[in-house]
Amino acid sequence: MSNNFEPDATAAAPAVVTTAPGAPSAKKAAPVKSINLHQGEIVPGVAKVDPIIVADNVTRTFGGLKAVDVDHLEIPRNAITALIGPNGAGKTTLFNLLTGFDKPDSGTWTFAGQALAGIPAYKVAGMGQIRTFQLTKSLNLLSVLDNMKLGAKNQAGESFLKSLFPYFWRSEEKEIEAKAMEILARFKLDTKKTDYAASLSGGQRKLLEMARALMSDPTLVMLDEPMAGVNPALTQTLLDHILDLKTSGMTVLFVEHDMQMVRHIADWVIVMAEGKVVAEGPPDTVMQNPAVIDAYLGSHHDSDLGDPTEHVSAIKELLNDDDKS
Amino acid sequence: MIDWAQLFSNALTEIVNPTTAAYALAALGLAVHFGYTGLLNFGQAGFMALGAYGYAISTLTFGFPVWGAVLVGVGASIVFALILGIPTLRLRADYLAIVTIAAAEILRLIFTTNNFASVTGSANGLSGYKGGFAALNPLPEGSYGFGPFEANAYDTWLRIVAWTLVALACLFVWRIINSPWGRVLKGIREDEDAVRALGKNVFYYKMQSLVIGGVLGTLAGMIFILPRAVLPSNYQTTLTFFIYTILLLGGAATVLGPIIGSIIFWVLLSFVSGFISRAVAAGWLPFMDSVQAGQLRFIIVGLALMLIVIFRPQGIFGNKKELAFVK
Amino acid sequence: MFAAIGAALALSLMPLSPANADEVGTDQYDYVFAGNVQYNGEPLEGVTIEVSGNGYDAEVATDADGKWAIGVPEKESYTVTLVEDTLPEGVVVAKGGASQDREFGQTDRSSVNFFLGEGVRETTSFVNQLIDRIVNGLNFGLLLALAAIGLSLVFGTTGLSNFAHSELVSFGALMAFTFSVVLAVPLWLALPIAVILSAAFGWANDAVVWKPLRKRGVGLIPLMIVSIGLSLAVRYTYQFIYGGSTVQLPGSGQAQMQWGPVSLSWIDISSMGISVVVLLAVAFFLLRTRIGKATRAVSDNPSLAAASGINVDRVIRIVWVLGGGLAGLSGILWAYFRPGVSWDMGFQILLLIFAATTLGGLGTAFGALVGSLIVGMLVEVSTLWIPSDMKYIGALAIMIIVLLFRPQGILGRRERIG
């Protein structure tokens, strides 16, 4: 595998360099990429100069099949990392494990130095790691503004006893509202503040979910297929917002299938297949990696790992009967 | 001929009847559980039973004063909610419904069994606990009110206490629902995982909701027994179903809905069953007898529940856009 | 458990003459318990009396005059027990209990009376009682299973938690009553008619109420609430038509016979036989026939089944017909088990049926069977330890405990995060 970077990258601090021409043109300047994120030779599980997440031996099995089997993984801080791979590779499962929505069978990982394995999802979110969902979870029965307010952290008014006495939370509500309006304005949703989230278009709801995620000033934002179901006109806006996250000092990890988008904004790409990390590296190099091409072309596609294959026995019997007759 | 005056008068008295208030309070508790948090609690009858027996047993067996008896009932309610909540709050809606019914039935069986008859009165129940409450009555002997609303001192006192409690409960629920705490509940009602992903401890909020709604149900149980006796057969699942009917009629996710729903429910039910009984007695409905007339009221309630939830699930005051349990 | 029937006869207080009574310890100790055991005026010889307490144990047998005395070291309270096994056949301690706590008054002698009466003692061992209860529990569990399978399959294929299922159960029994008693149709004809009508009623439920609501897109929780309203309306319609009392099907209440440790009547045996045969037929249907497999497929994974070309509507119709018929049969067997037919008989076991399906896992027929057998046996066996009017509590408590550790039930399927 070719290696274009300095062998002793440990000495060099991650540098920021503008990409070569050829990136999709936009009204803004092309994204400013981070380089030199890794230490040493680029192999799956390579150490990072400044990792925000360090994971070891993470496994998760569903009904006999290993959905996730990661020996070692590090996510670089203040960079945009893409997690790609064919369907059933275990990307969303890994997401769920890292964010506390699922319990691993084994494994430990740290987030900004704190051990996280086994910590419930709400605590993980409270520590600064906010995630979005593949199927947008904008709360449709609440207004846009209420959605945003819900996103804020450490609200005194959310304690039951204090909620009885507006004295304790009135001013805090005003501050939260101001912050919400500011973020909504950035996302161009401010005019919709009193509308129910249900009345927004799919793409607008995605934006709302991202905007809401920003209310708690997260350190790490994890986006599960942010582009899924978004019409092309909105794609650029979403991309710009994701880039803004990086410039604001946050780290981004996202799952995506859209390779163009990945090449455009990702600083680092991690490729998963059949639960394992098969390759990682900067976007251009990773795309040429034979292991990655292998994974996508599906030389190992017979073992489908996506959803648990437990409750399909009856259908299998029917299909077998059909084959016999 | 039918005595229309009596019929209307009976129906109207339901408006101030303390039993109506008790049902309103229980429905308000269920509004917190189901309307605002999405908890399908089918054990509200159990919370009411705890209030009834907690109050009566404290008064009769242990001789507690009124405030002590109330505290015992409320304490029992909180303990029951905690015990109930820990295993059940992470269950899906249908499982939660069945488990809460089972828990309420277990309570009822404990109160009905002959083994504890010395304390609970088993199937015969308890009476004779009203003294303490009556003693607190500041009103002198005599008749109060006018026309159909006339009542003696005890009943008037009971009405005042019952409806004041309802008013205070409404204010309380309104306050907590329209606060950041209430906002979290509404989020949970729609999508727990989304709220978890925002850093809120969903289990803790659901538990608080369960306790609060349960305490309201328990207070309702205490009001419920003051005009009558404590009978375990009153606390069957059918009681919970009636409360759900009232809640859905008024509007599941509203504060006034349970109250107005209870009033309308009891006025209508009184009128309709009163009418049918009188019609049967007057020979207008020759195919029915008076016993059957009494059974008709349950058939009506059942049909009403079905129609409300199919055609107007938001009830009278609810907002269809905010309904979490309707797709 | 000791059963005492008949008149109790008081034991007369005889003047105590230690000279001829059987005594133990009266020379060593100053304090004496004494008595005279008589029945119907006749003294009973050879009856054992035990005294224990304060670290002291002693026993004595009554003499030919029925007299006994036991000396005890301290002027304290002791437990005096008449060992009932040593009484003649047909005599038991009628009132007051065979074991009494006694103390001394002013004197050093205390007389102890035992009230004897006519009675039958069941000396069945614990194991025998256990076996008897298990078999009866099996009977109950099997008839529960017939009802539970329908409920579970309806849930699996349509997502509906049907609180009106119990009314299908009652329907079967009420139809059996109507035909066999009211219309005097012979039983061998009336029962199959009742089952067929129940199947039709099940079909009608879906055609008239559930299918239109599904087409309308009504959500699952509103559907559950509709089922509650429906159950209320239908149940009280039954009461409206049939009245509030309990009636019997022909042939109920037959004598119990002893089959080893177990007591069963011919009805119990037929009931279990019918249940087993029908359950085996249902199992064959689900496992071997095409429609049965399609039913399981839809119940396991409705969207996948629909996507693979299975006619889901047809499967649902079949499930309701099958579920209705099974529930009706369950109602008939329940009517013979209780025994009795009443308007609310289904409602009385609704919670148990739900407990069984939930325990086994909502949506799987085999889960319903497993759950029903567990619930049935628990209900019966628990009466060995807890009073029979609390016997449902055991089953309900087990359901809650199992769900604590396995929220999807024993054979149920887990939900994943999106």
Which region among A163-167, C40-44, C227-231, C396-400 has the lowest average model confidence (pLDDT)? C40-44
Q: Cα separation of C49 and C32, whole Å?
A: 13
CB contacts, 8 Å: C413 with chain A: 310-311
8 A C-beta contact, residue A105 and residue A59: yes
> Structurally, how many domains does chain C consist of?
2
Tell me which of C414 and A303 has the higher pLDDT: C414
On the question of pLDDT at C156 being above 50, the answer is: yes
Chains meeting A at 3+ CB pairs closer than 8 A?
B, C
Report the pLDDT value the prediction gives residue A4, as an integer from 0 to 100: 41
A117-164 pLDDT, tens digit each? 888 889 999 899 999 988 888 888 899 999 999 999 888 888 888 888
Claim to verify: residue C363 and residue C230 sit in the same structural domain: yes
B interface test, pick of A96, A101, A131, A137 with most B CB neighbours within 10 Å: A137
- End-of-domain residue from the set C62, C90, C121: C121
pLDDT in tens, B214-248: 999 999 999 999 999 899 989 999 999 999 999 99
Spell out the residues 6+ positions from residue B191 whose beta carbon is closer than 8 angstroms to its own.
Answer: A137, A139
In chain C, the percentage of residues whose pLDDT exceeds 90 is 40
Interface of B with C in 247-266 (CB under 8 A): 248
* Nearest beta carbon to residue B184 from set A123, A158, A216: A158
* C413 → closest Cβ in A310, A318, A321: A310
> Is C412 contained in some domain?
no
CA-nearest residue of chain A to C417? A101
Strands ordered across the beta sheet of C2-9: C2-9, C115-121, C91-95
Q: Can you tell me the distance from the alpha carbon of A304 to that of A309, in angstroms, rounded to the nearest whole number? A: 9
Size of interface A-B (CB pairs under 8 A): 97
Shared domain for C115 and C251, answered yes or no, is: no
* pLDDT at site C12: 34
**Domain final position from C61, C94, C121:** C121
Summarised one tens digit per residue, pLDDT across range B244-278 is 999 999 999 999 999 999 999 999 999 998 888 88
Which residues from B are below 8 Å from C417, CB to CB? 193
Give the domain extent around C225.
126-405
Q: What is the mean pLDDT of chain A?
A: 81
State percent of chain B over pLDDT 70. 100
CB C180 within 8 A of CB C250: yes
Nearest-by-CA chain B residue for C234: B299
pLDDT score, position A39: 79
Q: Across residues A180-195, what is the average pLDDT?
A: 90
pLDDT at C38 exceeding the cut of 90: no
Q: Which of A92-101, B126-135, C109-118, C318-327 has the highest mean pLDDT?
A: C318-327
Q: Which residues of C touch A319 (CB under 8 A)?
A: 308
Residue C33 belongs to domain with CATH number: 2.60.40.10
Same-domain status, C354 and C326: yes
pLDDT in tens, B46-68: 999 999 999 999 998 888 888 99
Q: Are B252 and B315 in contact (CB under 8 A)?
A: yes
Sign of the Cα pseudo-torsion (B156, B161, B165, B167, in order) = positive
Does C218 sit within 8 Å of B327, measured CB to CB? yes
Could you tell me if C262 and C349 lie in one domain?
yes
Residue finishing a domain among C121, C147, C173? C121
Q: Do C182 and C66 sit in the same domain of this protein? A: no
Q: What angle do CA C208, C211, C213 make, to 5 degrees?
A: 95
Closest CA to C275 of C155, C195, C358: C195
Distance of residue B131 Cα from the nearest chain C Cα, in angstroms: 32
- C119 pLDDT above the threshold of 70: no
Q: Per-residue pLDDT tens for A248-288?
A: 999 999 998 888 888 888 999 999 888 888 888 888 888 77
Residue C417 in any domain: the answer is: no
Q: What is the mean pLDDT of residues A8-33?
A: 50
Verify that C95 and C24 share a domain, yes or no: yes
Where do the domains of chain A lie, and which CATH numbers do they carry? 37-138+201-324 (3.40.50.300), 143-199 (no CATH)
The verdict on a CB contact (< 8 Å) between B299 and C240 is yes
pLDDT recorded at residue B326: 73
Do the Cβ atoms of C94 and C66 come closer than 8 Å? Answer: no
Q: What is the dihedral of CA C224, C227, C229, C234, to 10 degrees?
A: -170
User: Which residues from B are below 8 Å from C358, CB to CB?
Assistant: 95, 98-99
Cβ-Cβ contacts under 8 Å between B and C: the total is: 139
Residues C58 and C176 grouped into a single domain: no
Cβ burial C185-221 (10 Å sphere, 16+ → b, else e): beeeebbebbbebbbebbbebbeebbbebbeeebbbb
In this structure, what token pair is assigned to residue B40?
Answer: 């399908």
Rg (CA), chain A: 21
pLDDT confidence tier of residue A298, bands split at 50, 70 and 90:
low
Q: Which residues of B touch A (CB under 8 A)?
A: 172, 175-176, 179-184, 186-187, 189-191, 193-202, 208, 212, 321-324
* Predicted TM-score of the model (pTM): 0.81
Token pair for A221: 């934002």
Predicted local distance difference test score (pLDDT) of residue C95: 64
The predicted-structure confidence for C303-317, as pLDDT tens digits, reads as follows: 888 888 889 999 999
In this structure, the answer to whether residues C104 and C53 fall within a common structural domain is: yes
CA torsion through residues C215, C219, C224, C229, sign: negative
- pLDDT at position A18: 45
Task: Decide the pairing of beta strands C31-36 and C109-111.
Answer: parallel
Q: Between C94 and B119, whose confidence is greater?
A: B119
| pLDDT reading at A26 higher than 60 | no
Same domain, C313 and C189: yes
Residue of C nearest to B326 (CA): C219
**CATH class held by domain B4-322:** mainly alpha
Verify that C39 and C143 share a domain, yes or no: no
Residue A310, pLDDT score: 52
Using alpha carbons only, give the angle B74, B75, B80 rounded to the nearest 5 degrees: 95
Report residue B283 as tokens: 């020979």
Reported confidence tier of residue B211, pLDDT bands at 50, 70, 90: very high
| Per-domain residue ranges of chain B | 4-322
Mean pLDDT over residues C174-181, rounded? 94
**How far is Cα B52 from Cα C49, in angstroms, rounded to an integer?**
48
Could you say which of C294, C414, C417 has the minimum Cβ distance to residue A318?
C294
Residue C79 lies in a domain: yes
> Bridge-partner residues for A83, per DSSP?
A255, A270
pLDDT of residue C3: 40
Does the beta carbon of A299 lie under 8 angstroms from any beta carbon of chain B? no
Same domain, C27 and C144: no
Mark yes or no for CB contact B198/A149 under 8 Å.
no
Cross-chain Cβ contact C351/B292 below 8 Å? no
Q: Is residue C413 part of a domain?
A: no
Same domain as C147, residue C12:
no
At A5, the pLDDT band (50, 70, 90 cuts) reads very low
* ipTM summary value: 0.90
pLDDT of residue B285: 81
The answer to whether residue C121 scores a pLDDT higher than 60 is: no
Q: For residue C243, list chain B residues with Cβ-Cβ distance below 8 A.
A: 291
In chain A, what residues touch C414 (CB-CB under 8 Å)? 308
Using CB atoms within 10 Å of the CB of residue C57, give its burial: 0 to 12 exposed, 13 to 18 middle, 19+ buried.
exposed
Q: What is the CATH number of the domain that holds C137?
A: 1.10.3470
Residue C318 lies in a domain: yes
